[in-house]
Amino acid sequence: MLDWKTLCDRLFLGDHDVMLEDGVLHGSGNIGGRAVAVVGTTEHAAIGAQLAMKLAARVLAVVREHPGRPILALVDTQGQQLSRFDELIGNNACLAHLAKCFAVARQRGHRLISVVYSEAVSGGFLALGMLADETYAVEDAQIRVMALPAMSRVTKLPLEQLEELCRTTSILGPGVANFVALGCVEDIWQEPLDACLAAALEKPAGGADRRAELGAQRGGRIAAYDVTERVRNCAQPA
Amino acid sequence: MSACILESGNARDDAFHVHAGSYLERTARQRIAALLDERSFTEILPPSERHVSPHLPMLGQPVALDDGVVIGEGRLGGAPVLIAAQEPAFMGGSVGEVHGAKIVGLLQRAAEGVANACPAGVLLLLDTGGVRLHEANAGLTAISEIQRAVFDARAAGVPVIVLIGGGNGCYGGLGIVSKCCDYVIVSEEGRLAVSGPEVIEAAHGVEEFDARDRALVWRTMGGKHRYILGDADDIVPDDIAAFRSAAQRRLGHPRPLSLEAVEREHAMLQQRLQRFADCRDATQIWSALGIAEPQRVPLMDIDAFTEIADAAREKGRGENNHA
């Protein structure tokens, strides 16, 4: 698994000042003569209220100080912080706040890219990685909602049945390839990583959400795009 | 009438056109019928079109003909609205591929303008444990798409209004999405959080969170606490008429999501985290906010509660600071 420093060195061919401070990755890197702002997490961070606010502060600083600069989110999270205190204080409000900061950045012309370089799980992935224009993942990254044994306990379905189903569908099992098939992850980044980042940056900012369409094209989500389009385009009632 | 919309006003729904009675105890269709103007609702992708989950049968699970969410158009106090209501009895209101896609489509429809006219609002009647694990990856992806579509509707000036008062509460990714919307209206019975009590207990033990302690659950995640903190804009009794009038007041009043708005919210949340950093129970927060007898808060009726809570919220400061 890539550590964040090696990842940044390869993404920017060493030309970056990304640092780990107070549990948050931040800084900027240069690629092709262009500056890219970096925010992110490391060590499988559980994203609670405090961490969400620290990440949000970094996003807001980029929007204020570097208008229009592309933002790259480096994702390594085991999910949202599971604790009584975080729910008491409003983890949902803090995670939503982080999402709103990204949304405002997008509105103001910042291109948003995320890359899962280690692990992305459930609510943490939703709050940090999935709000990008496109989400990418390195080859050996892990993405999941829940591990199958836990899923088996909660759904009361036999583990063997879930494992069997995972051989034929992308819909429930862990794995980056599944999320690619669903259109949730745009593509898998393979070496050289700087070329992957450069290609992602070439795409225009502020595009529509194409994940459902991609999921249909790739065969991972057979219903979502069709349903969404039917609802969108349904004629006015008489 | 278009092929893809059916009138849903059948005899059973008509019985619930009385705008009174419990919100909690009703089905999704009954909530819509009682919340909106009489006979104004037309359903999009009704059960007759059979947009069911393609995945549940593979796991031997029953399907619902609406995949557990009812969507469509109607009027509220004469104003055109779009509405989605999760059915509490079908798999805990959980979000699967089709279920999520219906909500995404509805929000995109709002953002793009229905027949070139902006609706006065989108009402999301959320009653959910979050992602449907049987189609987990599609459910999580759909919730992210809902979040994107909420921001697009807001950018188009259409307010998205969340109503929370069902038995499942509003948990998981949709607990985050709720706070991405313009307004949250909650009943005392409603709960709003990311991680549910059972999930926290399973991860860190009963000492961290006793999920069977109902009083603890409501103190920590319930409507009253969310209102005191400022994370709910309105609190109402468990009464459909109260939800109706609260929602009606919020129509046509979008909150622009600007840099200034999120900066104000940032300062407000930072202050909250600092001020309550040492609090371990909601009663400590309520006490710190100047509520004299915090242990009585759960027992108060909504009128008495609102009076002391509004004083604690410093009269509108919380509201103005939300983005």
Write the DSSP symbol of residue B253: -
Q: What is the mean pLDDT of residues A152-158?
A: 92
Query: Are B297 and B286 within 8 A, CB to CB?
Result: yes
DSSP sequence for B113-142: -BTTB--SEEEEEE-B-SB-GGGHHHHHHH
Cα angle at A186 between A183 and A190, to 5 degrees?
Answer: 135
Q: From CA A32, how far away is CA A11, in angstroms rounded?
A: 11
> A192: cis peptide before it, omega within 30°?
yes
Q: Is B90 helix (H, G, I), strand (E, B) or coil?
A: coil
Q: From CA B232, how far away is CA B112, in angstroms rounded?
A: 27
The values of phi and psi at residue A54, to 5°, are: -65, -40
Q: Is A126 on the interface with B (CB under 8 A)?
A: yes
Shortest Cα–Cα distance, A91 to chain B (Å): 7
Residue B5 has pLDDT above 80, yes or no: no
Crossing angle of the two packed helices A148-155 and A159-166, in degrees rounded to 10: 120
The better pLDDT of the pair A139, A237 is held by A139
pLDDT digits (tens, 9 = 90+) for B145-202: 999 999 999 999 999 999 999 999 999 999 999 999 999 999 999 999 999 999 999 9
Query: Are B177 and B140 within 8 A, CB to CB?
Result: no
Ramachandran bin of A65, using left for φ above 0, alpha for ψ from -120 to 50, beta for the remaining angles: alpha
* B270/A227 Cβ within 8 A: no
For all residues of chain B together, what is the average pLDDT? Answer: 92
Q: Tell me the C-alpha to C-alpha distance, in Å, between residue A31 and each of A35, A137, B69, B203.
A: 7, 19, 46, 41
Residue B82 has pLDDT above 60, yes or no: yes
For tokens 């604690």, what's the residue? B312
Looking at residue B115, its pLDDT comes to 56
Query: Are B170 and B162 within 8 A, CB to CB?
Result: yes
* A53/B269 Cβ within 8 A: yes
Contacts of A90 in chain B (CB under 8 A): 179, 226, 229, 231, 269, 272
Write the DSSP symbol of residue A144: E
* A145/B136 Cβ within 8 A: yes
For tokens 């070496």, what's the residue? A191
Q: What is the mean pLDDT of residues A64-93?
A: 97
- The pair of three-digit structure tokens given for residue A41, joined into one six-digit string: 């997490």
- The pair of three-digit structure tokens given for residue B55, joined into one six-digit string: 């995945």
Contacts of A225 in chain B (CB under 8 A): 101
Q: Is A103 on the interface with B (CB under 8 A)?
A: yes
Q: Is A167 on the interface with B (CB under 8 A)?
A: no
Residue B209 has pLDDT above 50, yes or no: yes
Give the domain ranges of chain B: 13-192+232-256
ipTM, two decimals, is: 0.98
* A227/B194 Cβ within 8 A: no
* A236/B2 Cβ within 8 A: yes
Strand B79-86 to strand B69-76: parallel, antiparallel, or no bridges (unpaired)?
antiparallel
Q: What is the mean pLDDT of residues B226-254?
A: 97
Q: Tell me the C-alpha to C-alpha distance, in Å, between residue A6 and each of A2, A114, B19, B223, B277.
A: 6, 17, 61, 46, 35
For tokens 């999120």, what's the residue? B262
For all residues of chain A together, what is the average pLDDT? Answer: 95
Determine what percent of chain B is predicted with pLDDT higher than 90. 88
Q: What is the pTM of this model?
A: 0.95
Shortest Cα–Cα distance, B237 to chain A (Å): 22
Query: Which CATH superfamily includes the segment(s) A4-139+190-206?
Result: 2-enoyl-CoA Hydratase; Chain A, domain 1 (3.90.226.10)
pLDDT digits (tens, 9 = 90+) for B260-319: 999 999 999 999 999 999 999 999 999 999 999 999 999 999 999 999 999 988 644 555
Contacts of A97 in chain B (CB under 8 A): 179, 262, 265-266, 269, 323
Q: How confident is the model at residue B80 (pLDDT cuts 50, 70, 90)?
A: very high
Task: Report the residue of B195, B271, B275 to disrupt the A interface, i.e. the one with the largest count of A CBs within 10 Å.
Answer: B195
Task: Report the residue of A84, A159, A182 to disrupt the B interface, i.e. the one with the largest count of B CBs within 10 Å.
Answer: A84
Count of helices and strands (H, E) across chain A: 11, 9
- The pair of three-digit structure tokens given for residue A63, joined into one six-digit string: 């929007």
- The pair of three-digit structure tokens given for residue A216, joined into one six-digit string: 């249909």
Query: Are B49 and A223 within 8 A, CB to CB?
Result: no
Give the domain ranges of chain A: 4-139+190-206
Residue A231 has pLDDT above 90, yes or no: yes
Q: How many CB pairs under 8 A join A and B?
A: 269
Residue A71 has pLDDT above 90, yes or no: yes
pLDDT digits (tens, 9 = 90+) for B37-59: 999 999 999 999 999 999 999 99
A181 Cβ contact list (under 8 Å, min separation 6): A170, A215, A218, A219, A220, A221
Residue B4 has pLDDT above 90, yes or no: no
Q: Is B42 helix (H, G, I), strand (E, B) or coil?
A: strand
Looking at residue A129, its pLDDT comes to 93
> Does 3.90.79.10 match the CATH number of domain B13-192+232-256?
no
